[in-house]
Amino acid sequence: MFAEGLPQPRGEVVLQVTGDLALTNGDHSASFDLEMLKDLGVTSFKTSTVWTEGTPEFSGVSLKALVDKLGITAPVMNMYAVNDYVVDIPLTEAVADGPILAFAIDGVPMSVRDKGPLWLIYPYDAKQEYQTETTFSRSIWQLVRIELEN
């Protein structure tokens, strides 16, 4: 039985979230295409990174918006890349003006070849606390799946 309210993706699925969710469109899961993510509200910021030149503008959905929409309460989110590389992100990272699941750099959608479809990116220049090895190690690119840890 599926919870009501989350539509089925119409386009290519770019993110699947599994675990204890308040809102689903599958069996204990929520699948999102790019338009569904955009419907959560697009946010952008400019920041320098150790992987890019200058201060590109990243656009995406805030991690907080995703967490709030799905009613995520699990203390840890296991985030997986295309190649099954995984990082553990504490729920406490999902804050206002915090990291986003970026899908575009300088207005250009990111392909898998260019760190897409999604890249968990922090506004590194906004807060000194984001300029740490821990935060850099959490900045997973080619993100396609989030599994919740209870």
| pLDDT tens track for 108-126 | 999 999 999 999 999 999 9
Residues 38, 25: Cα–Cα separation, whole Å: 17
Give the position of tokens 């990291």.
99
Say what the pLDDT of residue 149 is. Answer: 80
- Portion of the chain with pLDDT greater than 70, in percent: 97
| Mean pLDDT of all residues belonging to the chain | 94
Tell me which of 137 and 5 has the higher pLDDT: 137
Distances (CA, A) of 113 to 32, 44, 47, 116, 138: 20, 21, 21, 7, 19
Tell me which of 142 and 4 has the higher pLDDT: 142
Q: Are 98 and 86 in contact (CB under 8 A)?
A: no
Q: Which of 108, 4, 115 is nearest to 52 (CA)?
A: 115
Overall average pLDDT of the 27-47 stretch: 96
Element (H, E) at 20: none
How do beta strands 13-18 and 141-149 pair? parallel
Percent helix, strand and coil across the chain, each to the nearest 5: 20, 35, 45
Residue 132 has pLDDT above 80, yes or no: yes
Say what the pLDDT of residue 3 is. Answer: 46
The pTM of this model reads 0.94
And the tokens for 14?
């770019």
